[in-house]
Structure 1
Amino acid sequence: MRRVLIVANRTAGTPDLLAAVERRAAAERTGFTLLIPEVKRSKNADWTLEQALTALRKAAAGETRSRATHVDGRVTGLDPLASIKAALAEERYDEVLISTLPARRSLWLRTDLPAEARKLGVPVTVVSAPEEARMGLKDLPVIGGPS
């Protein structure tokens, strides 16, 4: 089974990420692990890990809900690169899928998280959320810092 590590923060339920999960699950049997940063204050959370996992499981199962797939997740520290390194040390993954805010708002893209993750020897794909006007992200509170 192919294994994909998803790293997301506020973007764990965006349509583009869900479509990427669905495409991978449709192409071949794939297991997914979602890493999200720790939320320091509960009032900052606009969704929970379980809500994100429900959306990802639905996407992985497909429209007919007939695809058998495994989707799990965990809350990690605030440093996404350290979290990716730790996950890769624990398990084998075939791809790291980094989901970010739009390019002009993404700290992860400004600090070049994808390039740093590629140095770990696993293919990295970036899915950036569309601009706020289309997604309505500008009104969402930040969870554990910008992604």
Structure 2
Amino acid sequence: MRSYLVVANQTLLGPELLNELHKRIEAGPSVFYVLVPNTAAAHYHTVPAAGGLMPMPSVVMDFGRPASDEEATAQARQRLGQVLADLAARKVQADGDLGSAQPLEAIEKVLAGREFDEIIVATLPRRASRWLRADLPHQAERRFGLPVTTITTKH
């Protein structure tokens, strides 16, 4: 069974990540841990969320820029809950949690207690992505010695 660490926040319900997760699920038995760095409201980029992770009827959610850090955390928890529910509905083993707003720190904490075959980082387009500007995918690959797949939304 392949084990994947998925790192995403605003892009968690996007179709690009959906397609990548589907590829992994179709390739064979998979288990996912979804890590959502708890981004501060001031660092949000306004992105409408796709209507759910899996191709099934779901409520369309539009997560605009949160008014406060508390609202940002609530939105992140809602996205995490949705993706975990969608994976569970597909009978895919998945768990997850919110982590530090600093993605490398959040990844390091998760890796301290678990082993993964790959890290999947889903991010905003380069023009809006703090993670890409900070070279998060390459930093994570070098620091943790795991392959990193980067999924960039088209928003």
- TM-score by structure 2 length? 0.73
Structure 2: gaps spanning 5 or more residues:
41-68
Q: Distance in 2 between matches of 1:56 and 1:15?
A: 15
Q: Which amino acid aligns with 1:9?
A: N
Q: Which residue of 2 aligns with 1:4?
A: 4
Shift of 1:26: 1.1
SS in structure 2 at match of 1:103: coil
Shift of 1:52: 3.1
Aligned-CA RMSD value = 2.0
Q: Which amino acid aligns with 1:91?
A: R
Q: Which residue of 1 aligns with 2:75?
A: 47
Shift of 1:89: 1.7
- Report sequence identity in percent: 34
Q: Which residue of 1 aligns with 2:146?
A: 122
Shift of 1:39: 5.3
Structural mapping, 1:1-147, within 5 Å: 1-38=1-38, 41-44=69-72, 47-55=75-83, 57-58=85-86, 60=87, 68-119=91-142, 120-130=144-154, 132=155
Provide runs of 4+ in structure 1 moved above 6 Å: none
Q: Which amino acid aligns with 1:23?
A: K
Residues 38-82 of structure 1 show CA distances to partners (whole Å, capped at 9, x for unaligned) of 255223357343443433553x47xxx6x5321111111111001
Q: Which amino acid aligns with 2:130?
A: L
Q: Which amino acid aligns with 1:30?
A: S
How many pairs are equivalent?
126
8 Å CA contact 1:94, 1:123 repeated in 2: yes
- Distance 1:48-1:79 versus aligned 2 partners, 3 A rule: closer
Structure 1: gaps spanning 5 or more residues:
133-147
Q: Distance in 2 between matches of 1:25 and 1:77?
A: 27
